[in-house]
């Protein structure tokens, strides 16, 4: 009996204590931070966490602040930032407060419509990306749409404080960051997260590396003293903010320009993917640690933004199905040799290559016993990949695969 491998961080146990860097400004941590600003007319909230965290968020908020929630800015439409505003409306009704108003970029409405259209797909992929256990809903649909939407920017005044929201294409096409000049504070949404920006998420629609860099530079230009990120710790002090945000924008610009240079030189997708990387000093930077996304994902994202799916080899324009190609190769190479090679590659520590040979072997006719052994080997290899993988998303993909293979091997 082998234990299913699970990533931390999706368990909700990482919710800690709210941070209050200056009077009137709060960051309530969770899987997705919530910002709060006190005004004489009520609280302005920035983002709401997912359903598994919103109860804890509201409790932490209410232990510290009374009065109505006046306005909610949504930095983008992702489920860890925008889906639980209905809980705030319920709370307002219970307490006899006027309902909050919800402000977001106009593309958030399109995003919510797309979520409804692709609900089954998003449930499927989010279960893998966030290691959502069976029985827990992986992708709840939004129950409330924003009351106010805008295109490039919007400025609102609440209780004597000005709030300026700016559009910045970055992680999403509905991304917004919020500037509160009186408090010298930026609420950055997922333009600022822990480690390498999550451009090129393997499951998701297009994200925007160069525009992300430009968004970070626009934030720095305001010279904020506090930045509340979408995920991770609050950043305080102009120098620390400059260092983190500009290191990140420099990395994104580097990867972007290196991909563009190679596309213009006539190189194709796979060669660019394997060639482009960060220079040593950026690679070593804690601000770019691949804790959630990773450099390889970013390169994929940039390539996908600017090129099509053709890989440059006409053999691959209308190829047979991969498994049919594998069957033909297997018929000449022989199953025994292929399986032997898979084990040898595993022993040599060439785990990714070993996986290719296990897949090749599995493409052929195998007995139930052989299949179980091969699935067990594949599960083991995927477990090794996951154990050595710093990126949360990549690790969850490997661990999910490990768990599925172990089921097929009858070992879960
Ligand atoms: Zn997020």
- Say how far apart CA 342 and CA 299 lie, in whole Å: 29
Q: What is the pLDDT of residues 188-224, one digit of tens each?
A: 999 999 899 999 999 999 999 999 999 999 999 999 9
Superfamily of domain 25-250: Metallo-beta-lactamase domain (3.60.15.30)
Select from 101, 208, 186, 107 the least CA-distant residue to 150: 107
Q: How high is the pLDDT of residue 134?
A: 82
pLDDT at site 10: 44
Which of these ranges, 51-60, 124-133, 162-171, 393-402, has the smallest mean pLDDT?
124-133
Residues of the chain with pLDDT > 70, as a percent, come to 96
pLDDT in tens, 60-72: 999 999 999 999 9
Measure 190 CA to ligand 1 centroid, in angstroms. 5
Give me ligand 1 centre to Cα 82, in Å. Answer: 10
Compare 128 and 402 and report the one with higher pLDDT.
402
Ligand 1 centroid to 383 CA: how many Å? 26
Distance 208 CA to ligand 1 centre (A): 15
CA 268 to ligand 1 center in whole angstroms:
32
> How far, in Å, is the centroid of ligand 1 from the Cα of 80?
5
Contact (CB, 8 A) for 272 and 255: no
Specify the fold of 320-408.
Answer: 1.25.40
- Spell out the long-range contacts of 5-10 with Cβ–Cβ below 8 A and sequence spacing 24 or more: 5/383, 5/386, 5/387, 5/399, 5/402, 5/403, 6/131, 6/399, 7/131, 7/392, 7/395, 7/396, 7/399, 9/392, 10/130, 10/131, 10/132, 10/396
Alpha-carbon distance of 127 to 135, in angstroms, equals: 11
Whole-number Å distance, alpha carbon 76 to ligand 1 midpoint, is: 9
Q: Per-residue pLDDT averaged across 283-305, rounded?
A: 96
CA gap 341, 353 in Å, rounded: 10
Give 14's pLDDT tier (boundaries 50, 70, 90).
low
Q: Distance from the CA of 314 to the center of ligand 1, in angstroms?
A: 39
What is the mean pLDDT of the segment spanning 127-152? Answer: 90
pLDDT digit string (tens) for 91-139?
Answer: 999 999 999 999 999 999 999 999 999 999 999 998 888 888 888 888 8
The pLDDT of residue 183 = 98
Nearest alpha-carbon partner for 207 in 32, 78, 56, 354: 78
- CA 96 to CA 188: how far, in whole Å? 31
- What is the structure's pLDDT at 411? 84
Integer-rounded Cα radius of gyration of the chain: 24
Cα 47 to ligand 1 centroid, rounded to whole Å: 10
Q: Distance between CA atoms of 128 and 355, rounded to whole angstroms?
A: 19
Over range 278-297, report the average pLDDT.
Answer: 95
Per domain, the residue ranges of the chain are 25-250, 320-408
Distance 200 CA to ligand 1 centre (A): 14
Contact 37, 70 (CB under 8 A): no
d(CA 215, CA 219): 6
If one compares 4 and 73, the residue with the highest pLDDT of the two is 73
Task: Kindly report the backbone phi and psi dihedral angles of residue 52, in degrees, each rounded to the nearest multiple of 5, phi listed first.
Answer: -70, -15
Longest dimension (CA), the chain: 77
Ligand 1 ion local residues (Cβ < 5 A)? 32, 80, 190, 230
Q: 192 CA distance to ligand 1 centroid (A)?
A: 9
What's the CA dihedral at 317, 318, 320, 325 to 10 degrees? -20
Average pLDDT over residues 347-369: 97
Q: How far apart are CA 108 and CA 92, in angstroms?
A: 23
Q: Which of 181, 222, 231, 262 is CA-nearest to residue 27?
A: 231
75 C-alpha to center of ligand 1: Å?
9
4 C-alpha to center of ligand 1: Å?
Answer: 26
Calpha distance 283→302 (Å, rounded): 18
The secondary structure element, H or E, covering residue 4 is: none
Q: How confident is the model at residue 12 (pLDDT cuts 50, 70, 90)?
A: very low
How many whole angstroms from 223 Cα to the centroid of ligand 1? 24
Quick: pLDDT tens for 278-287: 999 999 999 9
Are the beta carbons of 151 and 167 closer than 8 angstroms? yes
Distance 262 CA to ligand 1 centre (A): 31
Q: Over 70: is that where the pLDDT of 8 sits? A: no
Q: Which of 74, 85, 71 is nearest to 111 (CA)?
A: 74
pLDDT surpassing 70 at residue 148: yes
Average pLDDT for the chain: 94
Mark out the alpha helices in 184-291 (DSSP H runs). Answer: 209-221, 238-264, 269-275, 280-283
Span 226-270, pLDDT tens digits: 999 999 999 999 999 999 999 999 999 999 999 999 999 999 999
pLDDT above 90 coverage of the chain, percent: 90
Distance in angstroms (rounded) separating the CA atoms of residues 32 and 194 = 11
| CA of 365 relative to ligand 1 center, distance in Å | 44
């Amino acid at each position: 009996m082998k234990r299913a491998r699970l990533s931390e961080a999706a368990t909700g146990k990482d919710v800690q204590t709210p941070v209050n860097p200056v009077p009137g400004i709060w960051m309530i941590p969770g899987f997705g931070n919530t910002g709060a600003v006190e005004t004489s007319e009520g609280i302005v909230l920035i983002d709401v966490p997912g359903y598994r965290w919103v109860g804890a968020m509201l409790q932490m908020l209410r232990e510290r602040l009374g009065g109505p929630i006046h306005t909610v800015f949504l930095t983008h439409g992702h489920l860890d930032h925008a889906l639980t505003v209905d809980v705030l409306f319920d709370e307002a009704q219970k307490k006899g407060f006027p309902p909050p108003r919800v402000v977001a970029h106009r593309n958030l409405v399109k995003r919510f419509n797309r979520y409804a259209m692709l609900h089954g797909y998003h449930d499927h992929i989010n279960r893998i990306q966030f290691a959502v256990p069976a029985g827990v809903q992986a992708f709840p649909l939004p129950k409330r749409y924003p009351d106010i939407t805008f295109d490039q920017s919007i400025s609102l005044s609440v209780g004597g404080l000005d709030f300026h929201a700016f559009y910045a294409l970055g992680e999403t096409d509905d991304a917004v960051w919020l500037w509160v000049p009186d408090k010298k504070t930026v609420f950055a949404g997922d333009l600022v997260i822990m480690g390498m920006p999550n451009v090129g998420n393997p499951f998701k629609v297009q994200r925007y590396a160069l525009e992300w860099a430009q968004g970070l530079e626009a934030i720095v230009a305001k010279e904020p003293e506090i930045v509340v990120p979408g995920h991770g710790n609050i950043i305080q002090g102009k120098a620390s903010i400059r260092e983190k945000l500009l290191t990140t924008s420099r990395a994104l610009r580097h990867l972007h320009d290196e991909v563009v240079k190679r596309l213009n030189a006539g190189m194709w997708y796979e060669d660019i993917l394997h060639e482009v990387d960060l220079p040593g000093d950026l690679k070593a930077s804690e601000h770019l640690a691949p804790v959630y996304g990773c450099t390889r994902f970013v390169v994929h994202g940039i390539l996908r933004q600017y090129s099509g799916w053709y890989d440059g080899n006409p053999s691959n324009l209308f190829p047979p199905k991969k498994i049919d190609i594998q069957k033909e190769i297997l018929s000449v190479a022989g199953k025994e040799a292929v399986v032997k090679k898979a084990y040898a590659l595993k022993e040599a520590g060439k785990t990714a290559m070993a996986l290719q040979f296990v897949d090749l072997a599995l493409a052929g006719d195998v007995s139930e016993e052989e299949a179980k052994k091969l699935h067990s080997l594949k599960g083991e290899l995927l477990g090794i990949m996951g154990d050595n993988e710093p990126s949360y998303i990549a690790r969850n993909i490997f661990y999910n695969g490990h768990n599925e293979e172990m089921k097929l091997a009858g070992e879960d």
